[in-house]
Structure 1
Amino acid sequence: MVKIVSDSSFVEEVLQNSGVVLVDFWAPWCGPCVQMLPVIDAVSSSLPDLKVVKLDVQENQEIPSEYGIMALPTLVLFKNGVEVGRHVGFSDERSLLEWIKSLS
C-alpha cells in the first residue's frame, strides 16, 4: 500500500524508519509521474516488506529542495533512513523491481 507523505511527516515516515522505504517524488501535472502510478502500486504489492510513499513536490517544496530533486519522477530508495539509490524518469515494473532488489 502506498502512503502519502508531506514535508512535515517525511522525517517520521522515511528517515526514522528502520527498513527500506521507496519515496516517489512526483506532481499531478507530470505525465511520466502519472504513468508511474500503476507501476508504483504493482511494486508495492510485489514487495510487501518495502514501504512505499509518495511526496507531491507541488504541495511540499522543503524536502524536494533539501534532496536536490530537479526532475520528475524521481524515486529515492532509503535504507534505515539513509539514501542508498536514486532513479529518475519512467521505469517499467520489472526494471524497478530489479533496481530495488539490487540496493536493499
Structure 2
Amino acid sequence: MTYQSAYAAAEPERSSVDAMAGLTLIEFGAPWCGHCIAAQEALQVLLGSQPAITHIKVEDGRGRPLGRSFRVKLWPTLVLLQDGVEIARAVRPRERSDLAGMLEAIDSSH
C-alpha cells in the first residue's frame, strides 16, 4: 500500500491493528492540523521508497480509543508496527531527517 492522503472515515479496532502482519505505519493527526500538513511531504518520500508498508491515516481527537491506546499526545504521531508490535515512533516530524529512526527500524526489520 502506498501513501494515503485522506484520513480514514473510521479508525480500526486496536485488536485488528495488533493482528496486522508485516510493517504498518499508523499516522495519527487531523486534516486541519498545521503540523500534520507540514509532515506530509516527508511522509510521502518515506512511503514512496517503501511500498510494502501499509499506511493507515487515523483522524485522532478527544475520546478516540485507538489514539489513546497508543498514548498519542501530539500530532502528527507516526507509529511503525512490525506484526502488530511497535518498533519505532516519530512525533511531529517536519522533514525526512526526522524520520531517520523509522528508516533504521524498517531496514532492521528486513
- TM-score category, normalised to shorter length: 0.7 to 0.9
CA 1:94 to 1:47, structure 2 compared with 1: closer, same or farther past 3 Å?
Answer: farther
TM-score by length of structure 1 reads: 0.80
Superposed CA deviations along residues 66-96 of structure 1, whole A, max 9, x for unmatched, are 1111111111110110111221112312442
Residue 32 in structure 1 maps to residue 35 in structure 2: yes
Partner of residue 80 from structure 1, selected from 78, 83, 95: 83
Q: Deviations over 1:21-80 (max 9, x none)?
A: 111111122111011122222211111122222111049711011111111111111011
Q: Specify every segment of 5 or more residues in structure 2 that has no aligned partner in the other structure, as ranges.
A: none
Count of residue pairs the alignment pairs up: 102
Q: Is the 8 A contact 1:7 1:60 kept in 2?
A: no
Please tell me the root mean square deviation across aligned C-alpha atoms, in Å: 2.2
TM-score by length of 2: 0.76
Q: When you count strand as a share of all residues, which structure comes out higher? A: 1
State the partner residue of 2:103. 101
CA distance in 1, matches of 2:55, 2:12: 17
Identical counterparts, % of pairs: 24
The equivalent of 2:24 in structure 1 is 21
Structure 1 residue ranges (4+ consecutive) displaced by more than 4 angstroms after TM superposition: none
Give the letter for the 1:63 counterpart.
Answer: L
